[in-house]
Amino acid sequence: MTDISLAEYFTKVSDRLPEEAERVLRALIEEGSMNKEELSLTARVKRAVLDHVIMQLFALGLVDVSTEGKSKICSLTKLGGDFFSLIKAG
């Protein structure tokens, strides 16, 4: 197995994520935590697609999802912020 840097890993991850993932991360950076309905509207991502993207971002540790009442609140993690900064810089 080859050793790769975190930057190289993030680049490979970015290439495998759907294009909507960038819009979701950008919305969370610019607007902060929000429920899925707000996030869908802010990021301009269809709700069915959003659920799939959030699942991928959550599995990677880039987004956290918590429950408040009946709502699922999505928040950017520190790793998610670092990931977004790195892929935008590269």
Residue 25 vs residues 3, 4, 61, 79: alpha-carbon distances, Å: 27, 24, 12, 11
Question: Which residues lie below 8 Å from residue 60, measured CB to CB, with a gap of 6+?
Answer: 13, 79, 83
For residue 87, what pLDDT is reported?
81
What confidence score (pLDDT) does residue 32 get?
96
Task: Look at residue 38 in the predicted model and tell me its pLDDT.
Answer: 97
pLDDT at 36 over 90: yes
What domains sit in the chain, N to C, each tagged with a CATH number?
A: 6-89 (1.10.10.10)
Place of tokens 């880039």: 62
CA atoms within 13 A on the CB side of 83: 26
pTM of the model: 0.89
